[in-house]
Structure 1
C-alpha cells in the first residue's frame, strides 16, 4: 500500500524551494491533523528564504524546512488522548511549542522556553504551507463562526500586535506613535485605536502611508515630516537599525517604548536617555499570551484586519512571493495569504 502524501512548500536552500509531495502527517498521541485553509506569509519566512534568519546560524533551524506559522484550518484527525470533540472544529494554533516541563513553561511563559519548537520556524517542526499540518492539541485555539479562515490566519500576527499595544499602556487622551506601517505596525495601530488612543504612524514611502490613511489613520508621516508632538508611547515595529534609538528620543518622559520589530544588524539605544527620561521599555517576542484576546477582538469587531491582505495565492506562487514579486491584481495591503488547496 502506498503512503498517503500531501502537497507542501519545501525550502531546500537560500532562494531554492519547490512544491513537493511529502508524507501526509499522522495524528500521533496528543496531536491532531489540520486541513489547512489559509496561511499568512511573514517577514520571518522571507528571512529563511534569503538565508538571513538568525536561527539558521545558531543551529535552531536547518534546510530543508517547511515554512508557515500564521494559519487557520479544520481538524480532520485526532491522536490518542485527544478529546474527539476537536474533530471538525475550525482552529488556529500557537506557533510556540514549549517543552511544558521547564521553569518558563511552568510559569506560563512557554513561548520563551529554551527548548521550544516553533511551527514552521524552529526545531524541525513542519509548518503550515502544506495541505495538512500536525500540531499538539494543547496548542489549538477554536475559532468562532465570526472569525473566518482569513481572520484566523491573522490571529498570530494580531496577537503580537495586541501584546505591543497593551505594553504601550495608552488609552483615551493619550498619543501613540507606531514606527513601521507593515502588517504588525498596522495591526498594532488598530489595537491602539480600539483602546482610544490618538495614533500616529511613521513610514518610509508615500505608498504605505497612503494605505495607512485609507484605514483611517490620518496622522501618517515620514521621518522628515514627523511633527514635534508629545508621544506618550512609541512602538517600534520596523526593521530599521536606527529606529530603536529614535523611539527613545521622541517618547515623552515617563512614557513607554515597545520593541516588536527587529533589524538584521544589532541596534543600539543610549540607556542614559532611558534612565534620565524614566522611560519603560518592553520587548515583545510572541503572540502566545494574547491569542484568545485577539480572537475575541476579531469576533466582536473591535479590530478588522481584512484590508491588510493584498492577495491570496496557491502553494505554487509562494516562492515568487518570498522573492519579493508583487502579485498581479494585488491590493495595497502588506500581507499575502496562501490557500494550500488552490493551484
Structure 2
C-alpha cells in the first residue's frame, strides 16, 4: 500500500510497501481521497512535535470512501463517502462525561499520537466517521475538520448577527473563521501581513484593516497564535470585550492582570470541537451546501509532490491539501 511518510524532520517520502490496515471491532477502513495540511501537521513535519516513531504517516484532515467494515459495525457500510473526525476521545474521563470531549486527557489524535491519513487506506473508528453525499467534493473532505474548529470557536464566542468582529491572521484557520462569522451575520474585519491571504479574506466578504488603524472590537479571534498577533489582539479588543484564542504557540506573551481587570477583558481558549455535535453539524452544513469551504482551497497537490506541498504550506495563501483521488481511482 502507498503512503506518504515523514522519515526525519522536514523529509517526506512516498513509499509503496506500507502495511495495509485491518479493521478491528467497531472500525471501518476508509480509502482516502483528500488530506488537508495545517499548522499542527507542520509542527510534526518540522520535528517540533514528537511522534511515536519514524517513519510516520502524517495528516489528520480528510475523508474518502468506506471499503471495509469491522465486527460490530452496523451503521456504516461499504461505499459510503465519509469525512473523518480525527480526535478520538475516551468517553470515560471527567471531561468526556461532562460533554467537553475537546479536553479529554486520553484523546487519540490522528497524525500526532495515532497514525495519520496520508495513505491509500486507513482504519478509523466508525463512530468518528460522518457520512456525506457523493456531491461533496474531494477538496471539501480535506477541509471539513478545520472548518469544524472555526465553527466551534464561533459558537463558543456567543457571536450574534451584526456583531463587529476582528480576525487576526488570515491563514487557512483565519479564513475559515471569517467564512463562519460572515455566515452568522457578523461584520467581519481582518488583519494579516500576507497580501495574498488578505485578498482571499476580502473575496469571502471580510474587510481588511491595517494594524495601526484598528479600532476596538467587541470580539477578536486570534487565529495566528504568535506573540505579535497576541499584541494586536489585546490592543484591538474593546473594554468588556472577548478575545477568542484559536492559534497556539509555545512562546510566552505578556499581559498585566491590572489591564485585564481594569478593561474587563475576557480571554477564551477554544480547542478543536466537542464530539459529536460540533463535527456532525459541520459535516451537515458542508453536505447541504450552507457553507462552501472550497472557497478557501488551493489546487490539490499530487501525492508525488507532497514534499513540496509541506515545504510551501506555511507561506501559501489559502488551504493546502494533498489530492489522493488518483490512488482511489486506480484501485477501484
TM-score after normalising by structure 2? 0.90
What is the root-mean-square deviation in Å for CA atoms of aligned residues? Answer: 2.2
For 1:16 and 1:145, the matched residues in 2 are separated by 34
Q: Secondary structure of the residue that 1:207 maps to in structure 2?
A: helix
| Mapping of residues 42-191 of structure 1, within 5 Å | 42-53=38-49, 56=50, 61-83=52-74, 85-122=76-113, 125-191=114-180
Are the aligned partners of 1:187 and 1:305 in contact in 2 as well (CA < 8 Å)?
yes
Displacement after TM superposition at 1:241 (Å): 1.3
Which residue matches 2:193?
Answer: 204
Displacement after TM superposition at 1:264 (Å): 4.4
Distance 1:171 1:342, change over 3 A: same
Are the aligned partners of 2:225 and 2:246 in contact in 1 as well (CA < 8 Å)?
no
Distance 1:231 1:119, change over 3 A: same
Task: Name the stretch that deviates more: 139-148 or 172-181.
Answer: 139-148
Q: Secondary structure of the residue that 1:208 maps to in structure 2?
A: helix
Unaligned runs of 5+ in 1: 1-5
| Mapping of residues 1-343 of structure 1, within 5 Å | 6-20=1-15, 21-53=17-49, 56=50, 61-83=52-74, 85-122=76-113, 125-217=114-206, 219-224=207-212, 226-228=213-215, 230-289=216-275, 290-324=278-312, 333-342=317-326
For 1:314 and 1:244, the matched residues in 2 are separated by 36
Displacement after TM superposition at 1:84 (Å): 6.0
Are the aligned partners of 2:139 and 2:300 in contact in 1 as well (CA < 8 Å)?
no
For 1:205 and 1:191, the matched residues in 2 are separated by 21
Task: Name the stretch that deviates more: 10-19 or 67-76.
Answer: 10-19
How many equivalent pairs are there?
324
For 1:311 and 1:322, the matched residues in 2 are separated by 14
Distance 1:114 1:172, change over 3 A: closer
Distance 1:325 1:183, change over 3 A: closer
Distance 1:326 1:113, change over 3 A: closer
For 2:286 and 2:317, the matched residues in 1 are separated by 18
Are the aligned partners of 1:9 and 1:318 in contact in 2 as well (CA < 8 Å)?
yes
Displacement after TM superposition at 1:195 (Å): 1.2
For 1:171 and 1:209, the matched residues in 2 are separated by 24
For 1:162 and 1:85, the matched residues in 2 are separated by 26
Displacement after TM superposition at 1:78 (Å): 0.7
Displacement after TM superposition at 1:288 (Å): 4.0
Distance 1:73 1:288, change over 3 A: farther
Distance 1:238 1:316, change over 3 A: same
Unaligned runs of 5+ in 2: 328-332
For 1:305 and 1:99, the matched residues in 2 are separated by 29
Are the aligned partners of 2:34 and 2:138 in contact in 1 as well (CA < 8 Å)?
yes
For 1:342 and 1:113, the matched residues in 2 are separated by 36
Are the aligned partners of 1:98 and 1:115 in contact in 2 as well (CA < 8 Å)?
yes
Displacement after TM superposition at 1:161 (Å): 0.4
Displacement after TM superposition at 1:310 (Å): 0.9
Displacement after TM superposition at 1:211 (Å): 2.3
Q: Secondary structure of the residue that 1:324 maps to in structure 2?
A: helix
Displacement after TM superposition at 1:304 (Å): 1.7
Displacement after TM superposition at 1:42 (Å): 1.3
